[in-house]
Structure 1
């Protein structure tokens, strides 16, 4: 049995008042999703759907970073409601990326990690990004260089270095995610990092770090003394 329209409208009005009066922290995760979905499908009680989505994807972060097709497979989700979820993620990523771009990366490290976690931690397949920096360590390009299976993405040393030359990069940061959630570096991760660093050294292109992102955290090969 559905929720009466007047009760649903009153509930949404109360959520809106709490949101506008006290900010997002005034709402629980399922209430945030519930209100977002209510904007997309206004004639429906969206609380059960919001809770189902959070269960399916393990929480708010997993939902907002989920693939559109995966969200669409949840009963009750159509293109409009899927788009509502995806637009929130897109806006958040742009905000976080802007925070990275406004200051030298090495003195803005936490902002970089926040951006990379939001962009990559929950992605279901492995992706490799290369962040290109100028002589002031400002971000000049953030590029996806490879995409692989659930646990492997190809990285080609020559392609990474050639692209750095093309962009006039003074330094680069390698980044990839581990879909398993464990950010611990593999032997292959260490070997490819050292190969790129050696090739870059000959051309005065520094490799500042190789960051591995997972749902359980991140690893920095530089901090671990592996490069």
Structure 2
């Protein structure tokens, strides 16, 4: 569709209708690609971004997948410039910050759903394995949240000595481990189980408790504690 001279570009009316629907009905009133359009509007004040939004969803599989994509991957999509990358990654950062702040200065064990939501948001869409450690004090409040290792699409090297050493440096009384499976299936592998038992034993000798090990995937999560593996 082209615009005749003197007429407003057709996409301006679409943008306003989308904004109106969002303001009146909230996020539930929009499809995922339409919510992505709203974000792209902030970076691209001109032009029809609906095709770009749909292309991004198709390329990365979901709205969450788009936000989690690396800047270099986003730039590979025709029509995505630095301003769009910043807009998308800023939204991802804001979402993670909000989720993390829900855990700070409160017992993590009593906020288990919020912990799972945070781990899922931070890791479920990552394309390589990532090993995250949450260090807790004597009241099970979060001291630190750190990514210790990043690996390949199906393996992350984890060293029990380094996990325990870092816990001692921080004065942590307990640890929760979390890692992702880029395949989407959160079922623990035999290597996951063996490594977790090694870390639990090493930590216990120094008076540090391993509360749980959570494996996150796009299809959900698995808790070692709830599965009877700890």
Normalised TM-score (structure 1): 0.96
- Residue 178 of structure 2 corresponds to 175
RMSD: 1.3
Q: Could you report, residue by residue, the CA deviation over 1:137-195 in whole angstroms, capped at 9, with x for unpaired residues?
A: 01110011111111111111111001100101010011111111111111111111111
After the TM superposition, which residues 61-210 of structure 1 pair with which residues of structure 2 at under 5 Å, given as runs?
61-210=64-213
CA distance in 2, matches of 1:225, 1:147: 27
Deviation of 1:22 after TM superposition, in Å, equals: 2.6
CA contact (8 A) 1:38 1:45 kept: no
Structure 1 residue matching 2:9: 3-state secondary structure: helix
Structure 2 residue ranges without an equivalent (≥5): none
Return 213-222 or 23-32, whichever deviates more. 23-32
Q: Which runs of 4+ in 1 moved over 3 A?
A: 1-6
Deviation of 1:2 after TM superposition, in Å, equals: 4.8
Return 211-220 or 96-105, whichever deviates more. 96-105
Return 96-105 or 38-47, whichever deviates more. 96-105
Structure 2 residue matching 1:95: 3-state secondary structure: helix
CA distance in 2, matches of 1:74, 1:200: 45
CA distance in 2, matches of 1:25, 1:209: 34
CA distance in 1, matches of 2:179, 2:8: 47
Of 9, 14, 25, the match for 2:12: 9
Deviation of 1:20 after TM superposition, in Å, equals: 2.0
After the TM superposition, which residues 5-84 of structure 1 pair with which residues of structure 2 at under 5 Å, given as runs?
5-84=8-87
Structure 1 residue ranges without an equivalent (≥5): none
Deviation of 1:43 after TM superposition, in Å, equals: 1.1
